[in-house]
């Protein structure tokens, strides 16, 4: 039977693949957009006012941004080294799609990928020109320099579906990536590509992607549903009739595009204490925009809380880029 031998929760976003100077490319978008923060939605100027007592001017100096950037790179290297050391055969990746695959014609809540392989490639010049500021610069971090096909696990995916559908999970499945003409993005979403490129360092083991619609209302699965999904997926993995060592990933988060260190600390505490109820009770108003990607962490927790794996926080760096508190808090946790 398959054995779950490694659990990893990791951030995956553009701040990990751009320089501390390039982080500022996103500030123009920050100033235009409205941002969820602590259950409400604010514009940039209001956030600056709300957060003026937090000393964020200090956090956004170039020297401090560079320190935090370097600490993130060290954490990624540590995660990648631990991945190699765990000697796993296959992986299950809880990821999310940020309109890199599914567009407005159909947005499945939970998708199990059943293809034999999954492909990825860099954006064309035309696609790159359509990306928001600061996104194309980060592409090397999740897309290979040329088209590649990575091995997947349709057997395990089918087994997961056969185990979960009778339990009431109405799963979408996909045997190949949607590729409509004129799509702004191509290939695997960055939640998967970051794991392939930076944690597996391009030595991609056969993997099962499970994609959650964390971002887009109105059919985002709740935190509780994500945890229950993970728990059922964990049971399915352990009943899979293959003698393999499995890594389980949650790919996304932490708080962004407005950083909330208190929220992230609460989340780490819940992981450390295997506190399922705290994770399940996080309301959707606290899990919107980029922070919503922590639902992939909750799904991975659903798998990993039922194992005897243990571990710790490998790194945590709130990577601020403005005095409004915009940026991405990058977190890394490993259980062996
Ligand atoms: Fe993301």
pLDDT digits over 2-52, tens only? 999 999 999 999 999 999 999 999 999 999 999 999 999 999 999 999 999
Q: How far is the CA of 50 from the centre of ligand 1 (A)?
A: 25
**What percentage of the chain carries pLDDT values higher than 70?**
100
Question: Tell me, what's the pLDDT at 328?
Answer: 98
Give the helix/strand (H/E) hosting 140: none
Question: Tell me, what's the pLDDT at 56?
Answer: 97
Average pLDDT of span 122-142: 92
Q: How far is the CA of 156 from the centre of ligand 1 (A)?
A: 25
Is 249 in contact with 195 (CB distance < 8 Å)? yes
Q: At residue 308, does pLDDT exceed 90? A: yes
d(CA 185, CA 176): 15
- Predicted TM-score (pTM) of the model is 0.98
Angle between helices 294-304 and 223-238 (to 10 degrees): 40
Q: How far is the CA of 214 from the centre of ligand 1 (A)?
A: 10
**What percentage of the chain carries pLDDT values higher than 90?**
97
Q: How far is the CA of 291 from the centre of ligand 1 (A)?
A: 9
d(CA 336, CA 326): 33
Is 192 in contact with 101 (CB distance < 8 Å)? no
Q: How far is the CA of 254 from the centre of ligand 1 (A)?
A: 9
Architecture of the 3-335 domain: 3-Layer(aba) Sandwich (3.40)
Average pLDDT of span 122-146: 93
Q: CB within 8 A of 196, min separation 6: which ones?
A: 120, 142, 144, 150, 188, 202, 204
Task: Tell me the C-alpha to C-alpha distance, in Å, between residue 2 and each of 41, 86, 238, 242, 335.
Answer: 44, 15, 5, 5, 17
Question: How much is the mean pLDDT over the chain?
Answer: 97
Q: At residue 333, does pLDDT exceed 90? A: yes
d(CA 143, CA 141): 6
Question: Tell me, what's the pLDDT at 10?
Answer: 98
Report CA Rg, the chain. Answer: 19
Average pLDDT of span 227-241: 98
Write phi, then psi, for 3 (nearest 5 degrees). -120, 130
Average pLDDT of span 134-163: 96
Parallel, antiparallel, or unpaired for β 35-37 and 40-42? antiparallel
Q: How far is the CA of 274 from the centre of ligand 1 (A)?
A: 24
Tens digit of each residue's pLDDT (9 = 90 or more) over 172-224: 999 999 888 899 998 999 999 999 999 999 999 999 999 999 999 999 999 99
With vertex at residue 27, the alpha carbon angle to CA 22 and CA 28, rounded to the nearest 5 degrees, is 115
Q: How far is the CA of 13 from the centre of ligand 1 (A)?
A: 5
Distance between the two ends of the chain, CA-based, in angstroms?
A: 18
């Amino acid at each position: 039977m398959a054995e779950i031998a490694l659990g990893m929760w990791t951030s995956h976003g553009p701040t990990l693949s751009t320089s501390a100077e390039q982080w500022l490319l996103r500030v123009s978008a920050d100033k235009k957009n409205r941002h969820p923060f602590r259950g409400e939605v604010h514009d940039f100027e209001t956030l600056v006012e709300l957060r003026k007592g937090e000393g964020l001017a200090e956090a956004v100096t170039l020297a401090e941004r560079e320190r935090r950037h370097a600490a993130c790179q060290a954490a990624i290297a540590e995660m990648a080294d631990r991945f190699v050391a765990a000697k796993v055969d296959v992986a299950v990746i809880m990821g999310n799609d940020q309109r890199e695959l599914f567009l407005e014609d159909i947005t499945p809540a939970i998708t199990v990928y059943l293809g034999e392989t999954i492909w990825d490639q860099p954006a064309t010049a035309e696609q790159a020109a359509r990306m928001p500021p600061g996104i194309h610069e980060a592409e090397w971090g999740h897309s290979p320099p040329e088209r590649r096909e990575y091995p997947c696990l349709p057997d395990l995916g089918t087994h997961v579906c056969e185990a979960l559908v009778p339990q009431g999970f109405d799963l979408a499945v996909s045997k190949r990536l949607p590729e409509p003409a004129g799509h702004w993005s191509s290939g695997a979403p960055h939640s998967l590509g970051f794991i392939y490129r930076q944690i597996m360092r391009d030595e991609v083991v056969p993997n099962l992607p499970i994609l959650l619609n964390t971002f887009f209302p109105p059919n985002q699965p709740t935190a509780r549903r994500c945890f229950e999904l993970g728990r059922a997926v964990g049971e399915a993995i352990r009943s899979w009739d293959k003698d393999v060592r499995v890594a389980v990933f949650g790919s996304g988060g932490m708080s962004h595009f407005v950083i909330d260190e208190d929220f992230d600390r609460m989340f780490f505490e819940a992981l450390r204490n295997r506190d399922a109820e705290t994770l399940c009770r996080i309301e959707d108003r606290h899990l919107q925009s980029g922070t919503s990607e922590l639902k992939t962490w909750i799904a991975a927790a659903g798998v990993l809380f039922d194992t005897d794996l243990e571990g710790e926080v490998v790194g945590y760096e709130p990577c601020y880029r403005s005095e409004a508190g915009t940026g991405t808090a990058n977190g890394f946790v490993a259980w062996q």
